[in-house]
Amino acid sequence: MILKERTVEQYTERSGGKGTMQIERLLSAQQLGEHVKMFAKVTIDINSSIGIHPHREDGECYYILQGTAKYSDHGKESILHPGDCTFTPAGESHGIENIGDEPLILMALIINA
């Protein structure tokens, strides 16, 4: 099955972050089933971020495709580049900021705990 229809959502100051971003959902809720909450391509615009937010009942993975990010992993900050992968398990928090001079593009996968 080839999927060409996608939903793209625009956000401003997501989770208390700054600036703008887009989430392109690659699979519908029906396709994801009960174990996966979201599989999406995320674009965080220049000088924008997703604020630090908790994951109470799910875990989230980011895979960086393009750009440079400052990543907060449960209070510890790191710089991420294309090819870097993160995982935030249930019970922890994270946030990400585009610190580069191009859009930050990543794949995001949220898995129900």
Radius of gyration of the chain (CA): 13
Contact present, 47 and 19 (Cβ < 8 Å): yes
Say what the pTM is.
Answer: 0.94
SS3 content of the chain, % helix, strand, coil (to 5): 5, 60, 35
Alpha carbons 84 and 92: distance in angstroms, whole number:
19
User: What proportion of the chain, given as a percentage, has pLDDT over 70?
Assistant: 100
| pLDDT at position 113 | 82
Q: For 10-30, how does the pLDDT look when each residue is reduced to its tens digit (9 = 90+)?
A: 999 999 999 999 999 999 889
User: What pLDDT score does 104 carry?
Assistant: 98
pLDDT tens digits along 70-83: 999 988 999 999 99
- Tell me, what's the pLDDT at 68? 98
